[in-house]
Amino acid sequence: MTVTYSLNVSKARLCGFAKLLLRWRGSIYKLLYREMMIFCGLYYSLSALYRYCFSENQRTVFEKLTIYCEAFTNLIPLSFVLGFYVSIVVGRWWQQYLAIPWPDKISMLIATYVHGSDERGKIIRRTLARYLNLLSVLTFQAVSTSVKKRFPTLDHVQEAGLMTKEERRVYDEIQVTHGKWWVPAQWFSALAARARKEGRIKDDILLQALLDEMHVFRGNCGMLFSYDWVSIPLVYTQVVTLAIYTYFLATVMGRQYLDPEKGYPGHEVDLYIPIFTILQFFFYMGWLKVAEQLINPFGEDDDDFELNWCLDRNLQVSFMIVDEMHQKHPRLVKDMYWDELEPQLPYTKSSFMLRTQPHLGSAVNLDIDPEESEFLPMETIMEEDNDENNYNSPPQSPTNELSPAFRSYAGSKVNLHGGSEDTVSQTGLRFLDSFPGAKLLNMIIGSSSENVSGTPKKEGSIFSGFALKTPNRRSVASSLADGLHDPGIDPLIPVTPVHVEDLRHVCLDMPSDFSPAESGNATPATVVEAYNRRHEVEQQPTPEEVLPPDSPTGEERSPFEPNSSQESLAPYADSNQSTVSSYAELLKHPK
């Protein structure tokens, strides 16, 4: 029964709303013509008495009463009282529409979660959907006059097929004085729990999601009961109604046209039709009629909600989803935009001019003066290192997780520079401080040459300042930390060459015969060569040497991470076998 005119106002044009004034169904004329006839009858009756029936003295009294009533109408705050009331009613009207339960979502969950193509699975799904529709009928039957006329009793509900004889008998045996409209929701929960026990619902999480959606559906039905039970306070409705009716009763007397010859202020013109008074009656009384029509949208007015149509639609849709469309979908095929990076939907001739450009930001087309778009040199601000920024104690390394051989080596005190210092490095390992590239090398292998003052050097551990970190970017075969073991102690661990890039992940043990005097012209490459030469191992080519980017035989490397084990990993297989492994490989061979 809802009156819609959305298509007529889809585009603003000349006299767009004025064309709607010619409609009758749902119009202000249909709601107000009776009150307008009563108001005009009273007005013209008093006007006829004043003009043709009263004596001179009676006309004088009538004129004084008219002036008094006109002054009284200005004392009623009609616009404020009526406007605030109508705004409350319209907001409440829309919230009641949002509270109407729709079974679409929960029906899709039933079709997805309740498995079984046999007859019992089909019965369970259809029964769950029927309980939802039964809950809606019992709710609408209690709050809507149109639904109550369609289903006056439970016999009509049973005859309509929404309730079986057994369910009717169980429903009648429930003794409660506060209404039983919620019983189908309990039946739904019990049946869903039984389906879970039978294994038709595979997981408790799925059962919880199904029950949560049922609670939303039941909550909407309860909200409709709440709106029907708790109305806008009657005193407010009475105040607005009294204000409207007393205003226009006073207007009937106060807006009379008086004899212009007597010179009353504001009565210089004598007319037979009070045009602006009639318009004012349309505005204020029509506003009140809007509130009267919307305050309960479950009746039989033109703009009330069509709950009978909702019941018919919900029953068909819910049964179709849980039964006919259960686990069915069209055949999977490639869409017509399969090979297109930027698919474009076509336009018709009538919609071609409605295309719009994407919004890229309001400042995209802003013109900047080239002279003002140059970067300026910024002064470097040096931050002072205060005492409160110092470490109180160096971080501890989980040395108890290392192999016994590694702990035995790490337990010895190492001092590459000789003597004792009042400060120790953050990593507990310093070397090559005398050549210019020492800081860079120390940064690469995880050692810092920046001292932290006020920190005593811990005896018995050279790794008190760093935490072991397993490399997660490369899969290697052996560990650089093998150099920490004597080859004679554990012959099972092979000695493998070292690359500069591996120094970022593991700690390089320095040769005992390494001379600090050689560090003057030492570079990371020379240190690596010295390490490999000490352990008498053969230098292996790096992955870049195995497969250079410009190699004519190899394919160009992709900038994206491979998404499968069969994609672009072969070129790195051989090179990774010759590189060092993580500490996890070292821990597999404890002494």
Contact 292, 237 (CB under 8 A): no
Q: Which two tokens stand for residue 486?
A: 């004597």
CA distance 438 to 432: 5
- Rounded to 5 degrees, what are φ and ψ at 478? -145, 170
Look at residue 477 in the predicted model and tell me its pLDDT. 41
pTM exceeding 0.85: no
Number of C-beta neighbours around residue 138 at 10 A: 23
Look at residue 97 in the predicted model and tell me its pLDDT. 94
Which of 558, 582, 585, 553 has the alpha carbon at shortest distance from 569? 558
CA distance 424 to 468: 19
The residues, any chain, with a CB within 8 Å of residue 69's CB and separated by 6 or more, are 250, 251, 253, 254
193: amino acid identity, one letter = A
CA distance 266 to 276: 14
Q: Which helix (H) or strand (E) holds 478?
A: strand 478-479
Look at residue 382 in the predicted model and tell me its pLDDT. 65
Q: Which two tokens stand for residue 114?
A: 């309740």
pLDDT tens digits in sequence order for the chain, 591 residues long: 677 777 777 777 788 788 788 888 878 888 888 999 999 999 999 999 998 888 889 989 999 999 988 888 888 888 888 999 999 999 999 999 999 999 999 999 999 999 999 999 999 999 999 999 999 999 999 999 999 999 999 999 999 999 999 999 999 999 888 889 999 999 999 999 999 999 999 999 999 999 999 999 999 999 999 999 999 999 999 999 999 999 999 999 988 888 888 888 878 888 888 889 999 998 999 999 999 999 999 988 888 899 999 999 999 999 999 999 998 999 999 999 999 999 999 999 989 888 888 888 889 888 898 888 888 888 776 666 666 665 555 555 554 444 444 444 444 444 434 444 444 444 444 444 555 566 666 666 654 444 444 444 444 444 444 444 444 444 444 444 444 444 444 444 444 444 544 444 444 445 445 454 444 555 656 665 666 666 554 445 544 444 444 444 445 555 554 544 444 434 434 444 434 444 445 455 544
